[in-house]
Amino acid sequence: MIARQLIMDGIIPLKTSDTGKTALSWMEDYKIAHLPIVNDQKFLGLISDLDIYNLNDFDEPLGNHNLSLSQPYVKEYQHIYDVLKLVSELGLTLIPVLDEKENYLGSITLPSLIKFLSKGFSIDNPGGIIVLELAYNNYSLTEIANIVESNDAKILSTFILSNEDSNKIELVIKINKIELAPILKTFERYNYFIKASFSEDTDQDDLRDRYNLLMNYLNV
């Protein structure tokens, strides 16, 4: 998935002639804290709500002020991982997407990015979640998949949480089975350390509640 495919419809960029009052009103409507400033398709920079609150006059044109975030953007061909990296590094709620000539094509919002990721992690599919803690050098997805499949189950999605200060990683596995006990026993038999498990039922509201619990556990 590349940046161009993630562009959110309906986000209107600001112009240098727009005021801080206009920018704050649009941010409230879009439920975001950043907006791009674009003149004649040329991307000039990104303004945040904090930038606007620091202005002396909300009715003054935005073009009269310097931007604290001048060049946070991705090119249209960049991968979703590049988008996520920029969001994480700069704490953005919106990322502009530019073409090769640095013309503005549109924006990716944080809510639309999370929605895409939830599909990729099979959040809405019923099943269970297992969190394994293991040394990075001992990590073998092939072996882990074999353990899951030996219990007549399938892995729907995985992701890894690493710590720079440790050689340990946490592997989060989404499985298409609600009953996790047999799988957990098999992991224990192979000397895997199970840090947490979350068994889900087919009720979608409950599934989302449990997903939120997992996100809180991971401090996401």
Local confidence band at 182 (pLDDT 50, 70, 90 cut-offs): very high
- Is residue 74 over pLDDT 50? yes
The per-residue pLDDT of the chain, averaged, comes to: 86
Shared-domain flag, residues 102 and 8: yes
| 101 contacts 135 by C-beta, under 8 angstroms | no
Shared-domain flag, residues 96 and 132: no
- State pLDDT tens for residues 190-211: 999 999 998 865 445 555 565 5
Shared-domain flag, residues 7 and 113: yes
pTM for this predicted structure = 0.69
Local confidence band at 125 (pLDDT 50, 70, 90 cut-offs): confident
Give the residue from 117, 150, 169 where a domain finishes.
Answer: 117
Residues present in the chain in total: 220
Q: With H, G, I as helix, E, B as strand and everything else as coil, classify residue 32.
A: coil
Question: CA 197, CA 131: separation in Å to the nearest integer?
Answer: 6
pLDDT of residue 167: 85
pLDDT of residue 174: 92
| 105 contacts 82 by C-beta, under 8 angstroms | no
Q: Give the angle subtended at the CA of 62 by the CAs of 59 and 65, to the nearest 5°.
A: 110
Question: CA 44, CA 29: separation in Å to the nearest integer?
Answer: 22
Shared-domain flag, residues 136 and 32: no
